[in-house]
Amino acid sequence: MLSNEELEYLKHKLGREPNSLELSMVEAEWSEHCSYKSSKPYLKAFNTQGKYVLIGPGYDAGVLAIDDMLITVHIESHNHPSAVEPYGGAATGVGGVIRDILSMGSRPIALLNGLRFGDIEKDSSARWLFKHVVRGIADYGNCIGVPTVAGEVEFDNSFDNYCLVDVACIGLIDKDKLVLMQADAKDLIIIAGNSTGKDGIHGASFASKVLDDADSNRSAVQIPDPFMGKLLIDATMECVNARCVKAIKDLGGGGLACCLSELADKLGKGMSIDLANLHLREHMSVEEIMISESQERMLYIVEPSRLSTFKEIMDKYEIPYSILGYVTDDGYLDIKYDGRKIAKIKASIVANAPIAKRKARKPKYLEEIPVREPDGYNEGNIAEYLLSLLSDPSIASKEWVYRQYDHEVGLRTVIKPGYHDAAVIRLSDNKFLAVKLDGNSKHCYLDPYNGAMGCFAEACRNVIAVGAEPIAMVDHLQFGSPEDEHVFYTFVESVKGLADYGRYMQIPCVGGKVSFYNETKYGAIKPTPVVCILGLIDSYSKIVKDRAKDGDMLVIVGLTKDEMGGSEYYEYIHKIQSSNVPRVDLEYDKAVMHAMLELIDGRVVRAIHDCSKGGFGVALAEMCINSSIGAYVNLDRIPNTCSRLDNLIFSESHSRFLIAVSKDNLSRVEYTLSKYSKGNNGIHYSVIGYFNSSDSIVLEHGSSTIGLSLDKAIDAYSSNIPRLMDHA
């Protein structure tokens, strides 16, 4: 529903009352989901320029140019639908982001997902959502033959009875084939794909309000059809190769209403269409036709002289299509039904919602949560804490998830899930893309600015750890209601944190999404910006794909501080919240990044792992688990300003890496790192131990020793999620 102000604004723009069809179209397009009316002014803060950027935010996908290839990238969420109907909601989320990539004429080559659920250890409904969301993504992605190569999963009480499902997609196309929005008067407007039905009616409006009653909203969830999705991929690629389409746009949130108005507005053109021409699944009113979000539908603009080629391709794949109308020069959406005029409205009015001015006020909890330390902590329990953290579902192995995804189809996946910090996909024989998606709702809740900045930094570290230089990001900003000034404050702060990092590090934002109203009757979710990073590797030999070996030395880069707020150690083990969230020191972080890239360039490191959730302790254990190898570490050698031993081991301070290096290369690694360690804000590094063929991880501190059996660590890390999910 439009607010009174919005309705007045619309009447003023029109110079008359809108009719009911026009009103439905405007309502769909002016929903928060489609219009970004609350967030738009703030998103201008992002740096969108960069060496590789061809097209930044504002299109269906961002575009990067690498050699004679173009890389497209986009991210979408499908939170509301997935919370109501997890299988269909997640599957259609995949379908939707794939079609955004297709809209640029590019072939989807990789999928990533970021998933968030409630406490699966306690809550069977969280397990139910988790199970069916993963199955929905798997069934859709596997069927269409696009590999799901990376992702992340986080569990937190604030997602109880809800879930966040973010899907990012990477596309690839030859430089000369990119389909840009072009159209001339008399060009044909064609809708191809599934017939339009009553599913997903009011989907965009549904996603733009608080989820109150899950069951009654099920009709707003769309139905996935991966088979048609796959046919649309193949047919679209053939159309692009035959150069018979001038513009492509997918029908997503807000259905035909949003697709037509946004496209016409972007083209600076009008459209004359007759809804009676559209292939329907069932009898529908014109309002329903305009806002239905039936899946697997694409709009193509085709020059009349190329129509026969277009038809041949659609007929080959037996894809139904309708010639809806044609492009005009007057800027109006002129809508008829069977020749009868039913609406005529300027596309620019529909496509440009008035900005909603939102208030932002610092929430009380941000003032009230102090810096705290856990009571009853005992140094003798550290090995136990570490084992516990390895089984923490937010940290534990996600093999149960990625085994269900075909992550190899397409013959591009060089680094597959479960091996390293990011996936690496082959673009050509000498160009590789590292991709990773990251978020951290616990950090962002306790400190939206530093938490969001930390997510960006952490995602960058993950691609650096496989040998890549971060070259672009897309983000997805997920919050509660923007009408709540406290929630809106966390949004504004998060955007600032991301934008400041991007500008300082010169990593452009090439696209993104905003999703508000992520609330249930229990309240808003924790602020959850997620960041998807693309990193470039310009030589196969630079990919860091090896594992630590017996006799390798262990080097830590970075400084460990008393930054325990939002750490898994505090939240999962001790169940306490503290405000001292890790902060990124921009200058320091950049120096660490440059030092790491120089090491990678020199090809002197064996394996790299970044320190994040669970801190140094978990990072070391993960390296040992992945390499099936023991390690000895002298904790006193770790550069730190920590007041306690548990902080030293579990702090999630940023800008830290663990490096495994052969003895032969150690002096070269130390030489490079020493260059970056000079001056006031020089980086810290230290050789802290070595990997060995023993079956344990040994941490020495002063005269005491903490020991952990490798078998126990492997068991804790790998068995918890399967154990929880096998009977879910």
Partner 1 sequence: MHIKVGIVVFPGSNCDRDVYHVFKNILKVDTELIWHKRDDLRGFDAIILPGGFAYADRLRAGVIAAHSPVMQEVKRLAKDGLPILGICNGFQVLVESELLPGAFMRNDTLRFICRWVSLRVNVDSKRSPFTRLLSNDQILNIPIANQEGKYYVDDDTLNLMHKNRQIVLTYTNNPNGSLQSIACICNEQGNVMGIMPHPERASDPMLNPLNYGNDGLLIFKSLLAYLGCDHHA
Which residues form the interface with partner 1 (CB under 8 A)? 135, 138-139, 142-145, 226-227, 230-231, 316-318, 402-414, 416, 419, 426, 429, 540, 545-547
Tokens of 41: 């002014």
* Residue entry with tokens 């799901």: 148
In a 10 Å sphere around its CB, with 0-12 CB exposed, 13-18 middle and 19+ buried, how is residue 330 labelled? middle
Tokens of 308: 């026969």
Three-state DSSP at 513 gives: strand
Alpha-carbon span 503 to 275, nearest angstrom: 46
Three-state DSSP at 166 gives: strand
**Cα–Cα nearest to 616, from 589, 585, 654, 586:** 654
Tell me the closest approach of the beta carbon of residue 316 to partner 1, in angstroms.
Answer: 7
Residue length of the chain: 728
φ/ψ (deg, to 5) at 427:
-95, -45
- DSSP labels for 323-369? EEEEEESS-EEEEEETTEEEEEEEHHHHH-PPPPP------HHHHH-
Catalytic-role residue among 74, 78, 202, 654? 78
Residues 6+ apart with CB under 8 A from 505: 460, 470, 586, 589, 590, 593
Judged by CB, which is closer to partner 1: 133, or 263? 133
Judged by CB, which is closer to partner 1: 124, or 628? 628
3-state helix, strand, coil in the chain (%, to 5): 40, 25, 35
Judged by CB, which is closer to partner 1: 65, or 143? 143
Tell me the closest approach of the beta carbon of residue 691 to partner 1, in angstroms.
Answer: 16
Give residue 280's identity as a one-letter amino acid code.
Answer: L
Alpha-carbon span 166 to 78, nearest angstrom: 7
Let me know if 476 is a catalytic residue: no
695 near 710, Cβ under 8 Å? yes
Residues 6+ apart with CB under 8 A from 565: 371, 443, 446, 447, 577, 578, 579, 580, 581, 582
Judged by CB, which is closer to partner 1: 138, or 395? 138
Tell me the closest approach of the beta carbon of residue 411 to partner 1, in angstroms.
Answer: 5
Tell me the closest approach of the beta carbon of residue 146 to partner 1, in angstroms.
Answer: 8
Judged by CB, which is closer to partner 1: 318, or 338? 318
Three-state DSSP at 642 gives: coil
**Cα–Cα nearest to 387, from 633, 697, 166, 144:** 697
CA distances 602 to 298, 539, 544, 595, Å, are: 47, 12, 11, 11
Judged by CB, which is closer to partner 1: 46, or 87? 87
Strand pairing report for 270-274 and 332-337: parallel
Residue 354: count of CB within 10 angstroms of its CB: 17
Residues 6+ apart with CB under 8 A from 394: 153, 154, 155, 156, 568, 572, 613
Tell me the closest approach of the beta carbon of residue 537 to partner 1, in angstroms.
Answer: 12
Tell me the closest approach of the beta carbon of residue 78 to partner 1, in angstroms.
Answer: 20
Judged by CB, which is closer to partner 1: 424, or 498? 424
Tell me the closest approach of the beta carbon of residue 109 to partner 1, in angstroms.
Answer: 11
Tell me the closest approach of the beta carbon of residue 317 to partner 1, in angstroms.
Answer: 7
* Residue entry with tokens 């590292």: 434
Residue 363: count of CB within 10 angstroms of its CB: 17
Give just the sign of the alpha carbon dihedral 233, 237, 242, 247. Answer: positive
Alpha-carbon span 156 to 524, nearest angstrom: 13
Let me know if 727 is a catalytic residue: no
Alpha-carbon span 227 to 219, nearest angstrom: 22
Tell me the closest approach of the beta carbon of residue 304 to partner 1, in angstroms.
Answer: 27
Tell me the closest approach of the beta carbon of residue 171 to partner 1, in angstroms.
Answer: 15
Judged by CB, which is closer to partner 1: 109, or 559? 109
Catalytic-role residue among 33, 80, 407, 609? 33
Within 13 Å of residue 137, how many CA atoms lie on the same side as its CB?
Answer: 34
Tell me the closest approach of the beta carbon of residue 651 to partner 1, in angstroms.
Answer: 31
Judged by CB, which is closer to partner 1: 19, or 241? 241
Tell me the closest approach of the beta carbon of residue 548 to partner 1, in angstroms.
Answer: 12
Residue 120: count of CB within 10 angstroms of its CB: 23
Judged by CB, which is closer to partner 1: 628, or 704? 628
**Cα–Cα nearest to 72, from 527, 409, 532, 439:** 532
Judged by CB, which is closer to partner 1: 230, or 346? 230
Alpha-carbon span 299 to 254, nearest angstrom: 14
Judged by CB, which is closer to partner 1: 415, or 642? 415
Tell me the closest approach of the beta carbon of residue 610 to partner 1, in angstroms.
Answer: 20
248-282: string of b/e by CB count within 10 Å (b at 16+)? bbbbbbbbbbbbbbbbbbbbebbbbbbbebbebee
Tokens of 520: 């249930």
Q: In what order do the strands lie in the sheet with 321-328?
A: 247-250, 297-302, 188-193, 321-328, 270-274, 332-337, 340-346
Strand pairing report for 469-478 and 164-174: unpaired
Judged by CB, which is closer to partner 1: 13, or 547? 547
92 near 253, Cβ under 8 Å? no
Q: What residues act catalytically?
A: 33, 78
